[in-house]
Amino acid sequence: MRRIISLLMENEAGALSRVVGLFSQRGYNIETLNVAPTDDPTLSRLTLTTIGDDLRIEQITKQLNKLVDVVKVVDLTEGAHIERDMMLIKVRATGAARDEVKRTTDIFRGQIVDVGPSVYTIQLTGTSDKLDSFVAAMSDADVLEVVRSGVAGIARGEKVLSL
């Protein structure tokens, strides 16, 4: 099952490599990874998606908690949450495809953020599923480049991940 694990860690050199190293060392999979400092400059928020059964996810969260640089860990998929992935996608937009790409972008509520004589660059935000669907919908067009931020997530309601 796909899980979104989010954690706070010390904003220190080497902290990220410990988290990433743990995954490769123990044979866990990382699907997406997103990391940036928080409002507290001493802390970084890292969000990753991974796939595994309950036992494996339990091991992953336990092992992450063991890392001395990691302050708090939460599995967002355990409760109601919001997840967002951001994509920039560059597609060939010439002839009939130019209108079609624009229409599909509107349907997905994306924005064309850069226009060239023969290309569009589209920005799209949403769940990973939505972004996947958009890429699939572009299958007839000529997709030149895709870049995604990786999933960032937050719990719904009063629940917060903080110190």
Partner 1 sequence: MELLSGGEMVARALEDEGVEYIFGYPGGAVLHIYDALFKDCKVPHILVRHEQAATHAADGYARATGKPGVVLVTSGPGATNAITGIATAYMDSIPMVVLSGQVQSHLIGEDAFQETDMIGISRPIVKHSFMARRTEELPGMIKKAFHIASSGRPGPVVIDIPKDITRPDAKVEYEYPKDVKMRSYSPAQRGHTGQVKKAARLLLAAKRPIIYSGGGVILGEGSELLTRLARELNYPVTNTLMGLGAYPGTDRQFLGMLGMHGFYEANMAMHHSDCILAVGARFDDRVTNTVAKFCPSAKIIHIDVDPASISKTVMADVPIVGPVQSVLTEMLTQVAALREKEPNLPDQGALARWWEQIEEWRADHGLLTGRRYAQSDQIMPQQVIQSLYRATKGDAYVTSDVGQHQMFAAQYYPFDKPRRWINSGGLGTMGFGLPAAMGVKLAFPDMEVACVTGEGSIQMNIQELSTCNQYNTAVKIINLRNNYLGMVKQWQDMQYESRYAMSTYEDSLPDFVKLTESFGHVGIQVKKLEDLDDAMDEAFSLKDRLVFLDVFVDPMEHVYPMHIAPNGSMKDMWLSKNERT
Joined tokens for residue 57: 């996810």
Is the Cβ of residue 94 or residue 162 nearer to partner 1 in the bound state? Answer: 162
Q: CB burial class (10 A; 0-12, 13-18, 19+) of residue 122?
A: buried
The reply to whether 10 sits near partner 1 by the rule CB under 8 A is yes
Which residues touch 157 (CB under 8 Å, ≥6 apart)?
Answer: 80
In the list 1, 37, 51, 65, the residue contacting partner 1 (rule: CB under 8 A) is 65
Question: Residue 25 interacts with partner 1 (CB under 8 A)?
Answer: yes
Binding of residue 19 to partner 1 (CB under 8 A): no
Name the minimum Å distance from CB 32 to partner 1.
Answer: 22
- Residue in 39, 41, 53, 55 binding partner 1, rule: CB under 8 A: 55
Under 8 Å between Cβ of 69 and 14:
yes
Report if residue 160 touches partner 1, rule: CB under 8 A.
Answer: no
Nearest to 5 by CA among 151, 149, 129: 151
Tell me which residue of 121, 130, 120 sits closest to 88, measured CA to CA. 121
- Measured at the CA of 149, the angle between CA 92 and CA 158, to 5 degrees, comes to 135
68 binds partner 1 (CB under 8 A): yes
Tell me which stretch binds partner 1 (CB under 8 A): 55-63, 101-109, 138-146, 153-161.
55-63
Site residues (CB under 8 A) for partner 1, limited to 103-142: none
Residues that bind partner 1 (CB under 8 A): 9-10, 13-14, 17-18, 21, 25, 55, 58-59, 62-63, 65-66, 68-71, 163
